[in-house]
């Protein structure tokens, strides 16, 4: 009889842990999505759709070797 009590306690603790985990995960995914930050006034963005084949034709081995990283903005 005593053994059944310990087993029931372990099962109840497992169920409680599972319920807590599910509740925590649901709260995290149901939160409103975070909006991306507004671009700074000294930056610009654009969406460009290119055909993959055109890009592969443009970036030849010699162009890849001569390519330099784009300058990155610094925090002021």
Q: What is the pLDDT of residues 28-59, one digit of tens each?
A: 554 566 777 776 777 777 888 889 999 999 99
Side-chain half-sphere of 39: how many Cα atoms within 13 Å?
7
CA–CA dist 28, 22 (Å, integer): 10
Rounded to 5°, the CA angle 45-51-53 comes to 135
Task: Report the alpha-carbon distance of residue 22 to residue 16 in Å, rounded.
Answer: 10
Q: Are 74 and 40 in contact (CB under 8 A)?
A: no
The predicted model scores a pTM of: 0.33
- What confidence score (pLDDT) does residue 1 get? 45
- pLDDT at 64 > cutoff 90: yes
**pLDDT given for residue 31 in this prediction:** 54
């Amino acid at each position: 009889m005593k053994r059944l009590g310990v087993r029931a306690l372990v099962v109840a603790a497992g169920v409680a842990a599972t319920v807590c985990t599910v509740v925590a995960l649901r709260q995290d995914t149901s939160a409103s999505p975070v909006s991306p930050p507004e671009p700074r006034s000294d930056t610009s963005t654009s969406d460009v759709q290119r055909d993959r084949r055109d890009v592969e034709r443009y970036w030849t081995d010699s162009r890849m070797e001569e390519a330099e990283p784009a300058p990155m903005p610094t925090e002021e």
